[in-house]
Each structure stands twice: as C-alpha cells, then as structure tokens.
Amino acid sequence: MDKAIEIINLNKRYSNGRGIIDLSLTVDEGDIFGFLGPNGAGKTTAMKIMAGLMRPDSGEVKIFGKSVQHEYVEAMQHVGCIIETAESYPYLTAYENLKLFARYYPDVDDRRIDECLEITGILPYKHEKARKFSLGMKQRLGVAAAILSRPKVLILDEPLNGLDVEGMLDMRKLIKRLNEEEGTTFFISSHLIHDVELTCNRVGIIYGGKLVDVQYTQEILANYASLENYFVSEVDRSARV
Ligand SMILES: Nc1ncnc2c1ncn2[C@@H]1O[C@H](COP(=O)(O)OP(=O)(O)OP(=O)(O)O)[C@@H](O)[C@H]1O
C-alpha cells in the first residue's frame, strides 16, 4: 500500500511554549484517518503545517513522497484542504462559488462542477446564494470546492463541528462515498470521539501536542467497549509515562 501522508518528526513551539512535539505518523492510501484530540491538543497546528500554511520549527510532511516544505507545488497537487472553516462567498450562488475556484484548475469544466454539486448533495441548490445555506450545506459546498480537481487526499479540520445530527450524517456519508467510490484518502481532525469511531478506519490520538497512539478502529473495538474507553485509557497511560 502506498503512503499517502508521512509526518516526520514535526515540531512547532509557539512563544507561550505550546504547540506540537516530535509528531510522526503515516497515513496509507485509502485510509480515513481520524486525528483525535481535545481542544488545544495541537490538531490545527499540525494541519496548518500539512497544508503548507505554517512552517514547522523542524521536521517535514510528505504527501505521496513529495515534501510540503521543500516541494510545495508537487506535494499539494493531489491535496484538497478545509482548514478551520469552509469559506464561501455569501452573495454568490453555489455554482458561482465553484466557478470561481475552478479558475485555478484548467481541466475543471461545468460538467465537473455539476458532478461535485451532485456528489455533495447540493445540485438542487445550484443557483441559490450561499448566504441562505445552512452550516451543513456550507460545509458540503466547501467539500465540493475542495474536490473539484479530484484530489487524492482530503485534509479536513473538524468537518462536523457545529453540525446537527442530520448534517453530521450527510457529511459522514459524503466522506465514506468519496473514500469508496473515488478512493480518496482522508485526514480528519476531530474532538468528537463517537463520530471518529463511526467515520474513521484508523485513529491517532494527540494530547498535549504529542501523539499518544495510532490504531485501527477495528482493533480498538475488539479490545475496548468503545473508542472513548480506549481514548481515556491511552490518555491516562501517557500522563503516567
Ligand atoms: N498563534 C498561536 N500563538 C500561541 N499559541 C497558540 C497559537 N495557536 C495555537 N496556540 C496554542 O497551541 C496549542 C495547540 O493549538 P491548536 O489550535 O493546534 O489545537 P487544536 O487541537 O486544533 O484545538 P482546537 O480544537 O481548540 O482548535 C493550544 O494550546 C493553543 O492555545
């Protein structure tokens, strides 16, 4: 199996001493990887570095073997990201928003735009302005923009944050559909344990800026009653070390 993402000895320390410490992990092609940790654990910091939006103090991130830090254009060629929030232009329609993003990609035509609207379930709202969209629809429009160029890897920061039950179900379905039908690899951060359990096939726990453990969800559930039990026991264990 090909390595989609390699995070290698990543360090980033803010002036207040917080940040991430010697983070290393590998995500295989086809994984839906859940990056699980409480608020302030360091998830967004790691993802900003992965997307090339922030420089690490040391270490690097490779995507399909290309270094985000040293070969940015080549590394990002196969990546779509939504970091922090899915931004759209409120006074433009769903179609107009995607048309604007499509300018970056010479081979994205109107057919592909419709395809992305269909995959994300917003084709019926193609000509409605984004400001009228619910948070869930805005998130899905963000995903539609992120998949326009058919990226092999999607990096999503807290994609379920703030969504209601229906919004969460839609987003989870969308992630699984893209994974199964298009083979898209996902790197998803979340603090929602139950949701990671239902969505991700592999889980990495980050706590206090350090990676505590990485496991397949199936293996965790074979040994623990729930992902939450595993999370608590791993965090306890790391606090004792
Ligand atoms: N620009 C900054 N300057 C100083 N400290 C920062 C900065 N950005 C983040 N931090 C601190 O670094 C730590 C990690 O933050 P980060 O945003 O990566 O965590 P997170 O896991 O994404 O949390 P959340 O779910 O709250 O976004 C936190 O303690 C945070 O307060």
For the segment 143-153, what is each residue's pLDDT rounded down to a tens digit? 899 889 889 99
Q: What pLDDT digit, counting tens, does each position of 113-137 carry?
A: 999 999 888 999 999 999 999 888 8
Task: Look at residue 81 in the predicted model and tell me its pLDDT.
Answer: 86
Structural domain contains residue 126: no
The CA distance from 169 to 158, in Å, is 14
- Please provide residue 81's backbone torsions phi and psi, each rounded to the nearest 5 degrees: -135, 145
85 CB under 6 A from ligand 1? no
Give the mean model confidence (pLDDT) for residues 33-56.
93
Structural domain contains residue 98: no
What is the domain extent for residue 74?
Answer: 3-86+152-240
Structural domain contains residue 112: no
Nearest atom, ligand 1, residue 46 CA: 18
Q: How many CB atoms lie within 10 A of CB 81?
A: 21
E strand or H helix at 214: strand 210-216
The model scores a pTM over 0.80: yes
Structural domain contains residue 42: yes
Nearest atom, ligand 1, residue 20 CA: 14
* Number of domains composing the chain: 1
Output the CA 14–ligand 1 centroid distance in Å: 9
Structural domain contains residue 227: yes
* CA dihedral of 84, 85, 86, 91, whole degrees rounded to 10: -150
Task: Look at residue 179 in the predicted model and tell me its pLDDT.
Answer: 95
Nearest atom, ligand 1, residue 48 CA: 18
Residue 241 has pLDDT above 90, yes or no: no
Cβ-count burial 169-181 (b if 16+ within 10 Å, e if not): ebbbebbeebbee
Give residue 24's pLDDT band: very low, low, confident or very high (50, 70, 90).
very high
Structural domain contains residue 59: yes
Give the mean model confidence (pLDDT) for residues 208-223.
94
12 CB under 6 A from ligand 1? no
Give residue 176's pLDDT band: very low, low, confident or very high (50, 70, 90).
very high
Residue 59 and residue 8 in contact, taking contact as beta carbons nearer than 8 Å = yes
Give residue 237's pLDDT band: very low, low, confident or very high (50, 70, 90).
confident
The CA distance from 52 to 68, in Å, is 6
Which structure tokens are listed for 186? 């996902």
CATH of the domain at 64: 3.40.50.300
The per-residue pLDDT of the chain, averaged, comes to 91
Structural domain contains residue 120: no
Output the CA 13–ligand 1 centroid distance in Å: 10
Task: Give, for ligand 1, the residue of 7, 43, 53, 158 to mutate: max count of ligand atoms closer than 8 Å to Cβ.
Answer: 43
Q: Evaluate whether ipTM surpasses 0.90.
A: yes
Structural domain contains residue 48: yes
